Amino acid sequence: MVDISTERAAKEGSALQVKEVTKDFPSQDRNNVRTLALDEVSFSVGAGEFVSIIGPSACGKSTLLRLIAGLDFPSSGELRVGAEAITGPNAARGLVFQDPNLFPWLTVRRNIQAGLVALGVVREKRHEVDEFIRLVGLEGFADVYPHHLSGGMAQRVALARALITHPKLLLLDEPLGALDAFTRMRMQDEVLRLWQARLTTMLLVTHDIDEAIYMSDRILIMSPRPGRIDRIIAVDIDRPRDRSQPGFLRMRSDILQLLDLAGQGGMGER
């Protein structure tokens, strides 16, 4: 799998380039002081690659994802998809949040087809909706309202909704963070299956080290205050991965150690 995705990356070039991106916000408590959320963050993601970002809370992971989605703009630096700069939200970049954020007034089917309606192509592509409902295994729940769904089911609807516009890049902001451990592991396989089926480039923000190792080709480790990329780790374990395999566990303890160091007194390692 690693080979395939690297090949894909080589063929299609980088799907996402983040160059020296800095983002600051006006400080909550004091005027004229700006809090630095991201400090000159640079990385790129290859087409078809699965990259995870992990780091302690408040390290700017979600801010970074919002910038890539185009929902927010950097204070300085550059974000590009292929040759184009990111100037605003676009259906080519899907975003799935920790909260599924399903529209409660729409049934499962209508939630999933929301993107088609937004783009005005629902008439031509209505047949795809059933395909996506099947893809996430929600046949029989198409006409149910979201509050009847469990957390895992709701998140699957959110995934289908984000995928129906065929985004080239799917941004996942701790999408499995609110699920119980069992549902979570099942959903990890689900996301991997969707990734392999749809050839979508994935950028996953998570605070779960196992999840990052289990799913990604590469892991970006971020450190907080100000948020920056500490280290990039390539996960060269064959897929499908086994969570109890020695290589997996070794990488897990390496990352844990890294994060501990990053936590103690900040940048000691660097």
Partner 1 sequence: MKELADANQEKQVDALIEASSAANRRSERPAGKSPWPALLAVPLALAMALGQHGFAAANEPPAEAGLYTYFLSGLLVLAIAALALQPIWSGLRKWMLNTCPLIAAAVLVLVGWELVTSVLHLLPLPYFPGPSGVLLSLVNDRDVLFDSTWHSLVLLLGGYTLGVALGLISGICIGWFPHARYWGMPILKIVGPIPATAWIPLAMVLSPSAMFSAIGLIALAVWFPVTMLTASGISNTRASYLDVARTLGGRRAYLIFNVAIPAAMPSIFIGLFMGLGASFLTLVVAETVGVKSGLGWYVSWAQGWAEYGKVYAALLIMAAFFSTIMTALFKVRDHVLAWQKGVIKW
Report the residue number, 53 or 162, with the smaller CB distance to partner 1.
162
What phi and psi values does residue 66 have, to the nearest 5 degrees?
A: -65, -35
- 3-class state of residue 26 by DSSP: strand
Report the residue number, 122 or 237, with the smaller CB distance to partner 1.
122
Report the residue number, 114 or 259, with the smaller CB distance to partner 1.
114
Rounded to a whole number of angstroms, the minimum distance from the CB of residue 99 to partner 1 is: 7
Report the residue number, 144 or 249, with the smaller CB distance to partner 1.
144
- List contacts with partner 1 (CB under 8 A): 69-71, 88-91, 93-95, 97, 99, 101, 103-106, 114-115, 117-119, 137, 145, 147-150, 152-153, 161-162, 165, 182-183, 186, 189
Rounded to a whole number of angstroms, the minimum distance from the CB of residue 190 to partner 1 is: 9
Rounded to a whole number of angstroms, the minimum distance from the CB of residue 71 to partner 1 is: 5
Report the residue number, 139 or 260, with the smaller CB distance to partner 1.
139
Long-range pairs, 247-254, Cβ under 8 A, ≥24? 248/213, 248/214, 251/213, 252/209, 252/210, 252/213
- 3-class state of residue 193 by DSSP: helix
- 3-class state of residue 255 by DSSP: helix
Here the tokens at position 262 are 């990053």
Rounded to a whole number of angstroms, the minimum distance from the CB of residue 147 to partner 1 is: 5
Rounded to a whole number of angstroms, the minimum distance from the CB of residue 18 to partner 1 is: 17
Report the residue number, 3 or 189, with the smaller CB distance to partner 1.
189
Pair 224, 55: CB distance under 8 Å: yes
Q: Order across the sheet with 93-96: list the strands.
A: 93-96, 169-173, 201-206, 50-54, 218-223, 228-234
Rounded to a whole number of angstroms, the minimum distance from the CB of residue 143 to partner 1 is: 11
